[in-house]
Amino acid sequence: MEGLKRAAVFCILICNGSFLLLKRSKEPNKGKLVPPGGKIEPFESPNDAVIREVKEETGLEINDITLCGILTETSPTSYNWISYIYVAHIQHTIIENCDEGEFHWVHKTNLPDIDTPPTDMYIYQFVAEEKQFIFNALFDQTLTMLEMTDELSGQILFKKENPIK
């Protein structure tokens, strides 16, 4: 049904202060740097899905993962997601590119300078501070983020001034 939330997982892979990110070759977020991940398959737990997705996209077998938060994205378009966000610490390695895009190691000090979805900088900040989160992000019909709130603290992290209706 149109507008129903789709479930996904993402895993922030970290090694010595650097994040392994995928420059997407497909929509959504084509051209942006994102953590590896994807849709949760029918009858699959989020934990199993993140292990599978990381293996499919990077070739890495991860087992020591930590759920750090949940991101809910809501828009009046077909872009509506609930994403489970995990972290795994790994050894530095060269990762072959996959059909989803090209992998890049990005040091945490360079994260503010990369092209990434607007929600992700807040995720990286909370991950760096080892704070759990439940983020609720609202978008308009052009997928411009209007507001983002951390439901655990009630803190409004972002609010677009004068949104176009």
Tens digits of residue pLDDT in 138-158: 999 999 999 999 999 999 999
pLDDT score of 163: 59
- pTM of the entire predicted model: 0.94
- The pLDDT, as a whole number, for residue 42 is 96
Q: Which residues, including other chains, have CB under 8 Å from residue 85's CB and lie 6 or more apart? A: 9, 10, 11, 12, 35, 67, 68, 69, 70, 71, 123, 127
**Average of per-residue pLDDT values in the chain:** 94
- Range 12-36 average pLDDT: 95
Record the tokens describing residue 151, joined without a space.
Answer: 């439901």
CA 27 to chain CA centroid, nearest Å: 14
Q: Report whether pLDDT(164) > 70.
A: no
Mean pLDDT of 14-36: 95
Q: SS3 for 163?
A: coil
CB distance 70 to 133 below 8 Å = yes
pLDDT of residue 161: 84
- Is the confidence at residue 93, as pLDDT, over 90? no
Question: What integer pLDDT is reported at residue 155 of this predicted model?
Answer: 96
Query: Given this model, what pLDDT does residue 165 score?
Result: 53
